[in-house]
């Protein structure tokens, strides 16, 4: 399927060059007059685990963020000039968690007004339930000041979104998380002060899920735009995540924020197709030419849950009936969008020679990560070990079902009793990897918090050993080691390890490095690479 959206006169295509730390779709640019230049792209525009994406345009720049779940640093800040090529340029909470929160860092919403940026985010309150909090900054890349939770209902509050009503008054809109208790899921709104630090007045219900329809047990992820006489709320319905997901996109409209709200009779306006499954939870952004786009997430039907919910982009078409529509009522596989020059990178090639880690590395929430980088002598990462189940972990999002990850580990500096190497991680209780430990190459797994050894071999002599993970179909993982990167010695008799247990329902698999052992032990890695 090829979607010809915004198709102007073609003159030719040029491929974008690659640059590090940028995540993008494959794309080519149509060379046209500056006012009508377009870019052809292939979804996803945010490959890998970027659930619940939110985007805002400020001038010629687009700023986006997405769910972090249980991976720090929290809430990536991404930048683009064309909605297709995205670079991670920072995080809302780069160094520590918000003081009041402990887990479930979901559904951030980015907003901008009068020179200030606001991030509304969902998190679990310490000892409590889900709340909607807010942080603000004068720059999109921060530093952000956290203002704490705005609303915390008994069953949980999630998916905050700011909007001004027909009178210009500021409101917070959110979902009551009733589905967590088998209850309805009202979408609420309540006045908010201009500082965005407190709600005022009485909250009121906009609408809720209709059981027995496509919405199933919930509606969530409200994103509101004003067009003509109407407010339009784009929302998601039914099961968001995992192998049993049934997500789709609906829309409702009203002339006043207080309603009455009318759901579109032809909902859902977006459902799955042969390429993308369970689309939903996005935001609307208008480009410089007045075209509206929807940035949202979906699972690829081939790689499915393993890379996680990936960020997709689609143009919104407004019909003569006044309602929004998507081409073919499903995610675009290929499409076009007006653009300026962009950049592209699908590589994970870390030589550790720049003096700082790239912004795309992640680690489990609550982990105290300690490392040093030596940019001389071709670069080296020294990762301090910890006695936790997986030790200290640094991971990157996976983008495909099939990939090869490789690292070079310095063997001479690893202390006896320590273990370090290459790993695929679902969460701290579920992982599989290959490591050097006590002069042996060890193939290990952690499932449900229990570690076991699958296979092992005598470690080679020499200063370095290369460790390799080859993944097929997202969960069939083969492990090997080498002294030269050419001749590989397989483990487990060359048989793949079944890693289908790895991804939690709301996350994708990460691949990266770990160091387990006493806190005074360190592991030295010369480089880390991932190739599709």
pLDDT at 21: 44
Q: Which two tokens stand for residue 115?
A: 């020179």
SS3 222: strand
Query: For 313-342, what is each residue's pLDDT tens digit?
Result: 999 999 999 999 999 999 999 888 875 443
In whole angstroms, give the CA distance from residue 435 to residue 255: 61
Contacts of 79 by beta carbon, 8 Å cutoff, 6+ apart: 61, 62, 63, 64, 86, 87, 89, 140
- Provide mean pLDDT across the span 507-524: 95
Query: For 352-387, what is each residue's pLDDT tens digit?
Result: 998 889 999 999 999 988 999 987 778 999 999 999
Separation in Å, CA 507 to CA 48, 305, 336, 440, 469: 10, 8, 29, 32, 20
pLDDT at 336: 87
pLDDT at 335: 86
Task: Output DSSP code: residue 531.
Answer: E
Query: For 130-187, what is each residue's pLDDT tens digit?
Result: 999 999 999 999 999 999 999 999 999 999 999 999 999 999 999 999 999 999 999 9
Q: Which residues belong to CATH 2.60.120.200 in the chain?
A: 348-531
Query: For 205-262, what is each residue's pLDDT tens digit?
Result: 999 999 999 999 999 999 999 999 999 999 999 999 999 999 999 999 999 999 999 9
Query: For 406-436, what is each residue's pLDDT tens digit?
Result: 999 999 889 889 999 999 999 999 999 999 9
Q: Is the pLDDT of residue 29 over 70?
A: no
Q: Which residues belong to CATH 2.115.10.20 in the chain?
A: 13-336
Whether residue 285 contacts residue 293, with contact meaning beta carbons closer than 8 Å, is answered with yes
pLDDT at 183: 97
Whether residue 409 contacts residue 436, with contact meaning beta carbons closer than 8 Å, is answered with yes
pLDDT at 345: 41
Query: For 300-312, what is each residue's pLDDT tens digit?
Result: 999 999 999 999 9
* Residue with more model confidence, 148 or 7: 148
The lowest-confidence range among 13-22, 126-135, 162-171, 483-492 is 13-22
Burial readout 476-496 (b: 16 or more C-beta within 10 A, e: otherwise)? bbbbbbbbeeeebebbeeeee
Residue carrying the six token digits 């960020």: 311
Query: For 436-461, what is each residue's pLDDT tens digit?
Result: 999 999 999 999 999 999 999 999 98
Task: Using alpha carbons only, give the angle 121, 126, 131 rounded to the nearest 5 degrees.
Answer: 30
| Nearest C-alpha neighbor of 341 from the set 42, 24, 9, 63 | 24
Q: Which two tokens stand for residue 8?
A: 């102007």
What CATH code is assigned to 348-531? 2.60.120.200
Q: Which two tokens stand for residue 110?
A: 């980015």
pLDDT at 234: 98
Whether residue 82 contacts residue 339, with contact meaning beta carbons closer than 8 Å, is answered with yes
In whole angstroms, give the CA distance from residue 220 to residue 316: 20
What CATH code is assigned to 13-336? 2.115.10.20
The lowest-confidence range among 10-19, 322-331, 514-523 is 10-19
Name the band, by pLDDT with cuts 50, 70 and 90, for residue 495: very high
Q: pTM here?
A: 0.92
């Amino acid at each position: 399927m090829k979607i010809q959206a915004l198709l102007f006169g073609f003159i030719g295509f040029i491929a974008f060059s690659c640059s590090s730390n940028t995540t993008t779709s494959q794309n080519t640019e149509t060379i046209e007059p500056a006012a009508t230049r377009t870019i052809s792209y292939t979804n996803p525009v945010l490959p890998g685990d970027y659930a619940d994406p939110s985007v805002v345009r400020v001038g010629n720049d687009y700023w986006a963020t997405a769910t972090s779940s249980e991976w720090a640093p929290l809430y990536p800040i991404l930048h683009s000039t064309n909605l297709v090529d995205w670079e991670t340029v920072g995080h809302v909470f780069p160094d520590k968690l918000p003081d009041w929160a402990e887990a479930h860092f979901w559904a951030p919403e980015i907003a901008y007004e009068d020179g200030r940026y606001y991030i509304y985010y969902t998190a679990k309150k310490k000892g409590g339930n889900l709340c909607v909090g807010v942080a603000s900054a004068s720059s999109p890349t921060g530093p952000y000041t956290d203002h704490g939770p705005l609303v915390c209902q008994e069953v949980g509050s999630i998916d905050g979104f700011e909007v001004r009503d027909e009178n210009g008054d500021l409101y917070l809109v959110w979902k009551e998380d009733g589905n967590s208790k088998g209850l309805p899921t009202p979408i609420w709104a309540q006045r908010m002060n201009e500082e965005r630090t407190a709600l005022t007045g009485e909250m009121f219900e906009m609408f809720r899920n209709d059981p027995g329809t496509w919405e199933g047990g919930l509606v969530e992820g409200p994103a509101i735009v004003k067009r003509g006489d109407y407010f339009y709320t784009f929302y998601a319905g039914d099961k968001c995540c995992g192998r049993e997901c049934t997500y789709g996109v609906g829309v409702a409209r009203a002339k006043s924020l207080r309603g009455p709200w009318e759901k579109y009779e032809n909902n859902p306006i977006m459902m799955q197709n042969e390429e993308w499954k369970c689309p939903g939870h996005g935001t609307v952004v208008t480009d410089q030419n007045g075209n509206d786009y929807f940035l949202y997430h979906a699972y690829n039907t081939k790689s499915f849950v393993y890379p996680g919910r990936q960020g997709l982009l689609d143009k919104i078409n407004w019909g003569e009936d006044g309602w929004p529509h998507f081409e073919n009522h499903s995610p675009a596989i290929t499409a076009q969008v007006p653009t300026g020059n962009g950049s592209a990178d699908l590589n994970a090639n870390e030589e550790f020679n720049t003096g700082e880690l790239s912004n795309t590395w992640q680690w489990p929430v609550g982990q105290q990560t300690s490392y040093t980088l030596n940019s001389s002598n071709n670069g080296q990462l020294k990762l301090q070990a910890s006695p936790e189940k997986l030790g200290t972990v640094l991971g990157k999002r996976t983008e495909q079902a099939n990939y090869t990850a490789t690292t070079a580990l310095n063997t001479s500096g690893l202390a006896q009793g320590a273990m370090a190497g290459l790993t695929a991680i679902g969460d701290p209780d579920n992982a599989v990897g290959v490591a050097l430990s006590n002069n042996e190459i060890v193939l290990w797994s952690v499932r449900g918090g229990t570690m076991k050894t699958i296979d092992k071999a005598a470690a080679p002599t020499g200063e370095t050993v290369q460790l390799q993970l080859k993944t097929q179909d997202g969960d069939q993982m083969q492990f090997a080691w080498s002294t030269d990167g050419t001749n590989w010695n397989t483990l487990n008799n060359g048989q793949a390890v079944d890693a289908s247990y790895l991804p939690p329902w709301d996350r994708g698999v990460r691949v990266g490095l770990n160091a387990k052992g006493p806190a005074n032990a360190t592991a030295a890695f010369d480089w880390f690479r991932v190739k599709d």
